[in-house]
Amino acid sequence: MRLQTVYRRLFDHYGPQQWWPAETPFEVMVGAVLSQNTAWGNVERAIANLKAASALTPEAIAQVDHDTLAAWLRPSGYFNIKAKRLKNYCHWYLAQGGFAPLDALSDKALRHAVLSVNGVGPETADDILLYAFQRPVFVIDAYTRRIFSRLGLIAQESGYETLRRHFEAGLQREPRRVALFNEYHALIVSHAKEHCRVTPRCNGCPLRRDCPARAVEPG
């Protein structure tokens, strides 16, 4: 089964996802940092705390003391670590001059720059590039590995960059790649939560008929 076929079946089944839920590019960046190792609902609560404190700006986050920021971020889990990482990111972001100078960089240069920030790994960087800067990078997460390894389309143990290049090359001829990658990643998340869980729920799965790992129906 081709990557395009998987996309069409997921889209036909779930419809448009309208992801990433944020009001500004900077809010996307904050969400990308906070979404590490937690559910999105927890991230939303942490961001709501920042908004309530009028602190959802790089200046406010950079200037506030660690303990106050960590308290705001507590719902997202690992809040002390995330407070440090978010501060690192905001100090770096302000030192670069904010959004416009970064947006002027090429895709490759921007990705290299974002990855230089302490605490920002490839998945977080690619979330930022795709959803905040509208760059055509394919985000690889645990859901992607689970779904596509079960489909037999990737080796689950493959490295992040190998998988990213695999998806980008496989979809390189598709029009409007930023919109496609955005929608595809969101559909993967929805499918992993609805059907392709750690213990899969194969009944009703739109990919079932071509999935080698599908559960055997009772005879």
If one counts the domains in the chain, the total is 2
Report whether 129 contacts 114 (CB < 8 A).
Answer: yes
pLDDT at residue 218, rounded to an integer: 42
Q: 97, 112, 132 — which closes off a domain?
A: 132
- Rounded-to-5 percentages of helix, strand, coil across the chain: 60, 0, 40
- The residue among 74 and 216 whose pLDDT is bigger is 74
Stretch 149-177: mean pLDDT, rounded?
93
Q: How far apart are CA 130 and CA 68, in angstroms?
A: 30
Inside any domain, residue 216: no
Can you give the residue range of the structural domain that contains 148?
3-17+139-210
| 144 and 175 share one domain | yes
Inside any domain, residue 41: yes
The pTM of the full predicted model, rounded to 2 decimals, is 0.93
| 147 and 181 share one domain | yes
Inside any domain, residue 218: no
pLDDT one-digit tens code per residue, 98-147? 999 999 999 999 999 999 999 999 999 999 999 999 999 999 999 999 99
Q: Quick one: pLDDT band at residue 217, thresholds 50, 70, 90?
A: low
Q: How far apart are CA 219 and CA 201, in angstroms?
A: 18
| 110 and 166 share one domain | no
pLDDT one-digit tens code per residue, 15-42? 999 888 899 999 999 999 999 989 899 9
SS3 call for 133: coil
| 11 and 48 share one domain | no
Give me the long-range contacts of 164-171 (CB less than 8 A, separation at least 24). Answer: 164/122, 164/126, 164/137, 164/138, 164/140, 167/3, 167/138, 167/140, 168/136, 168/137, 168/138, 170/2, 170/3, 170/4, 171/3, 171/4, 171/138
| 56 and 98 share one domain | yes
Report whether 218 contacts 176 (CB < 8 A).
Answer: no
Q: How far apart are CA 115 and CA 92, in angstroms?
A: 11
| 49 and 127 share one domain | yes
Q: What six digits make up the tokens of 150?
A: 């079960």
* Mean pLDDT value across the chain: 95
| 123 and 148 share one domain | no
Inside any domain, residue 197: yes
Q: 99, 132, 165 — which closes off a domain?
A: 132
Q: What six digits make up the tokens of 213?
A: 């790992």
